[in-house]
Amino acid sequence: MRALSRSTLGGAALAAILLGAAGAGAAPDGVIRVGSKSFTESYILAEVAAQIIEQVGEARVERRVGLGGTGLTYRALESGAIDLYPEYTGTLALVLLKDASLATPEAIRERLRPGGLTVSASLGFVNTYALAVRADAAERLGLRTIGDLARHPELRAAFSSGFLEREDGWPGLRARYGLTLARVEVMEHALTYRAIASGQVDVMDVFSTDGQLERLKLLLLDDDRHFFPDYSAVLLARREMTERYPRTWARLREVLEGRLDAARMARLNAMADLDGRRVSEVAAVFLGRAVPAGTGRGREILAELGSLTMDHLVLVLVAVGVAIVLGIPMGIVAARHRRTGQLELSVIAMLQTVPALALLMFMIPLFGIGKGPALVALSLYALLPIARNTYAGLIAIDRTLLEIAGVLRLAPLRRLLRIELPLAAISIMAGIKTAAVTTVGTATLAAFIGGGGYGALIVRGLALDDTATILAGAAPAAAMALAFHALFELADRVLVPRGLR
């Protein structure tokens, strides 16, 4: 059991180190943290709110946008990692509070009060779920309402994972209309637009204010049985923030409540999605502010790339560094105590089977959002190759060589540092190399919980359906992975003893 308790200690130490870095809990004085989910409308509303807060000047703004799905963003708000984000009444009632009777912002506000949260009134538009088909296909097949789909079970549907699983999404819809579509796939929303445009998919879930609908000539099917609830846009906030900065909260409500109708929101979405304008520009246009000229999205990305590269490097280096510091001792413990070692390695291997995105999500209730929790998750991910290869390298050492170390009366520490670790160096280095190169890739997911790095561009590109932005994040990440690989080939020459090469 000694090995076990040692690894438990290691885990606790990891948590403690990174908890400090995570900075969960209430916002520091003078800062309001604005969050958003990762789709265009949410980005725009968050940016509008951020600019209003800046205008009021009561507090500084920290943007933690593009956090991912509903659950993730809501938990970030609950944990105090963000103070404010745009949400929809239908989602609040059905998904988060799980009470369909909560129809109005007022009712929701009452319900949220004990939890320390509050909502604004409706911003003026309803962005409801809807099903869309290509206009030409609708004409050909005579599709007008959702009910018409029942006559065409051969149609191929692709839904976002949220829609596919939520009670107020596909499961409920299918029951209400008695639909029997043969092929229903789960797909990232931004990608589905391409699939439907190229005819690989026939039906998809959309939001009614979507800026893409017009360009792609998509038709919304009528919800004639009124299945989809009312999704009024609201601002969801921590009451702590609204009380500390009353002027700011009042101004946000004054400027936004009832001021955005569906057509206007769709135009703003289209400006970002179709015209390729920056979210900050779109927000400024809405607020009637001067837009700095001559700055397109491309230039914005270039300006950002430097700091994103630093972000990404820090994520990879710190995560792999922590994994080395913990993984090598764990490998040593595993090699010393074979049976508990197997258990220890199995536990780490199990961690590895948790999808990276899910692991990142688990971090939010524990550590909030941002770099800290991303680092915890990435470190855990990098642990397995390092611990495993340390273990494999150590147990492969010739037994005679170990016996001789005993006969020469080398003390345990000297034996480890002078004999065992150098003899296992090739295997350990291979583990570190694997960890570093894969962490460069996995770190792109950190952006989903506000960890920054190249993933920020990928998340944004997906939301804006902009291949160039996605590539602007993906290509440097690939280049960094190659650079790390080359770097470690060099490091091998220094760190692997000459006699072993």
Q: Do 234 and 46 form a contact (C-beta atoms < 8 A)? A: no
Phi and psi angles of residue 396, each rounded to the nearest 5 degrees, phi first: -85, -5
Of the pair 198, 400, the CB lying nearest another protein is at 400
Residue selected from 293, 355, 400, 490 as contacting another protein according to rule CB under 8 A: 400
State in angstroms the smallest separation of the CB of 410 from another protein.
5
- Is residue 415 within 8 Å of 394, Cβ to Cβ? no
In terms of DSSP bridges, do strands 31-35 and 117-119 run parallel, antiparallel, or are they unpaired?
unpaired
Q: With binding defined as CB under 8 A, does residue 493 bind another protein?
A: no
- The dihedral sign for the CA sequence 169, 174, 176, 177: positive
Rounded Cα distance between 283 and 442, Å, is 31
Among 310, 350, 411, 417, binds another protein (CB under 8 A): 411
| 124 or 422: CB nearest another protein | 422
Q: Contact with another protein (CB under 8 A): which of 139, 214, 403, 489?
A: 403
Q: With binding defined as CB under 8 A, does residue 197 bind another protein?
A: no
**Least gap, CB of 496 to another protein (angstroms):** 8
Residue 500, burial from CB neighbour count under 10 angstroms (0-12, 13-18, 19+): exposed
Answer positive or negative: Cα dihedral of 331, 335, 336, 342: positive
Paired residues of 411 in beta bridges: none
Does 412 contact another protein by CB under 8 A? no
Return the residue of 404, 417, 468, 479 that touches another protein, per CB under 8 A: 404
Q: Which of 407, 490, 493, 494 binds another protein (CB under 8 A)?
A: 407
- Residue 303 or 411: which CB sits closer to another protein? 411
Report in angstroms how near the CB of residue 415 gets to another protein at its nearest: 9
- Binding to another protein by residue 396, rule CB under 8 A? no
Tell which phi-psi region holds residue 41, choosing left (phi > 0), alpha (psi between -120 and 50) or beta: alpha
Member of 401, 479, 482, 487 binding another protein (CB under 8 A): 401
Which of 25, 258, 298, 497 touches another protein (CB under 8 A)?
Answer: 497
- Which strand (E) or helix (H) includes residue 156? strand 156-159
- The span of 143-151, 315-323, 402-410, 478-486 binding another protein (CB under 8 A) equals 402-410
Residues in 414-453 at the binding interface with another protein, rule: CB under 8 A: 414, 418-419, 422-423, 425
Do the Cβ atoms of 260 and 123 come closer than 8 Å? yes
The binding track of 128-157 with respect to another protein, each residue x by CB under 8 A or -, is ------------------------------
- Let me know: does 405 contact 419? Beta carbons within 8 Å: yes
Residue 52 near residue 280, CB atoms below 8 Å: no
The Cα–Cα gap between 485 and 463 comes to 31
Residue 101 engages another protein in binding (rule: CB under 8 A) = no
Q: 408 or 482: whose CB is closer to another protein?
A: 408
- CB of 501 vs another protein, minimal distance in Å: 9
Among residues 19 and 397, whose Cβ is nearest to another protein?
A: 397
499 binds another protein (CB under 8 A): yes
* Residue 394 exposure: Cα atoms within 13 Å on the Cβ side: 24
- The number of residues that bind another protein (CB under 8 A) is 20
Which string of b and e fits 89-104 if b means at least 16 CB within 10 Å? bbbbbbbbbeeeebee
- 254/403 with CB nearer another protein: 403
Regarding 498 and contact with another protein (CB under 8 A), the answer is yes
**DSSP annotation of 397:** S
Site string for another protein, 352-391 (x = CB under 8 A): ----------------------------------------
β pairing state of 203-207 and 129-134? antiparallel
Positive or negative, the CA dihedral 264, 266, 267, 268 is positive
Give contact residues for another protein (rule: CB under 8 A): 400-401, 403-404, 406-411, 414, 418-419, 422-423, 425, 497-500
